[in-house]
Structure 1
Amino acid sequence: MATVLALSGSPSPTSRTTCLIERTATDLRAHGHHTRTLALRELPAAPLLAADTKDPAIARAVRLVAEADALVIGTPLYKAAYSGLLKTFLDLLPQHALTGRPVLPLATGGTPAHVLAIDYALRPVLTSLGAQVAQGWFVWDQHVATAPDGTTTLDAATGHALDRITGQFAEHLAPSTLAAA
């Protein structure tokens, strides 16, 4: 059983990205893995922007990354790149913070034209941190419904596809695979 940290890089409290993160965390638990979720928007802004790793909340977030066997990283895409919130957090991590760790990148965006942002914007940063980056998954915003009360749900086809991607990632997290990493 792996411990997986699911990071949401969305600055919004009503978030399609968080919907993906929560669904993926639930699916990973169903595959026998332990998950923790961290919404980066809940970190204190001033210490985050100053990369103050001595701040208790920032130190805890960095510690959660260090303790995780694997990560799921979700982000909305803005202007063909991942969120500045996520970038700010990744920048304060030590250079080799993700060495050997499997990472599943997930992204939401308003246009299918942003589908390549995972590979051209996010993957290089994760790789530079040492991550073993899995095949990412992009979800078009119109495939995630937001109700008036703020709850979000995936349409059936998108949910099924995400379950398949999560299942593949979960299989990759078998104890023998993690021990070899």
Structure 2
Amino acid sequence: MATVLALSGSPSRTSRTTFLAEHTAATLRARGHQAHVLAPRGLPATPMLAADTHHASHARAVTLVDEADALVVATPVYQTAYSGLLKVFVDLLPQHAFAGKPVLPLATGGSPAHVLALDHVLRPVLTALGAEVSRGRFVLDRHLTASPDGAMALDHDDERQPDRVTDQSARPLPSSAYLPVA
């Protein structure tokens, strides 16, 4: 059984991106993995902006990244790039924080043109941190809908897409567990 940390880089409280990260974590848990979601928006801002890794909350978040066997990195696409919140959080991490770890990038955005942010903006950062970056998945905002009670849902085809992405290339981890990442 692998330990997977899903990072949601969304600054929003009612976030489609966080929903997608939680949905992916739930899929992984259903397959026997330990999966947790970390939303850096819940961390104190002042120490994060000062890159204070000694602050207790931030030190714990960095430890969670270090202890994970694999990661899911989810971000909304703003101005053709990943979120500033994700950037500030990544700046807290050691230079090779993702070294040798499979990382599944996920992005949400309002236009199909934003899909390029996965490969041209997010992938280089994840690779620089040492990640074994998989193909990833982009989901249009309009395919993530909120019901009147505030619950989120993926549209019919997109409901199956994260599962397909996580199924496409299951790879063994050192513990012989299988972590489905694309």
TM-score where L is the length of structure 2: 0.93
- Match of 2:168, SS state, is helix
Q: How far does residue 173 in structure 1 lie from its aligned partner after superposition?
A: 4.6
Name the SS for the 1:20 alignment partner. Answer: helix
Where 1:79 maps in the other structure, the secondary structure is: coil
In the alignment, the residues of structure 2 paired with residue 136 and residue 58 of structure 1 have an alpha-carbon distance, to the nearest angstrom, of 26
Partner of 2:171: 172
Distance of 2:135 and 2:77 partners within structure 1? 17
Aligned to 2:55: 55
Q: Which runs of 5+ in 1 are unaligned?
A: none
Contact 1:51 1:92 in 2 (8 A): yes
Distance 2:51 2:31 in 1: 35
- Does residue 4 of structure 1 match 2:26? no
SS in 1 for 2:165: helix
Q: Identity across aligned pairs (percent)? A: 62
CA contact (8 A) 1:14 1:151 kept: no
TM-score (norm 1): 0.94
Deviations 1:9-45 (A, max 9, x none): 0000101101111110011011111111111110100
Distance 1:147 1:43 in 2: 28
CA contact (8 A) 1:53 1:59 kept: yes
Contact 1:2 1:173 in 2 (8 A): no
Matched residue of 1:10: which SS? coil
Report the counterpart of residue 147 of structure 2 in structure 1: 147
RMSD of the TM alignment (CA)? 1.4
CA contact (8 A) 1:111 1:140 kept: yes
Segments of structure 2 that go 5 or more residues without pairing to the other structure are none
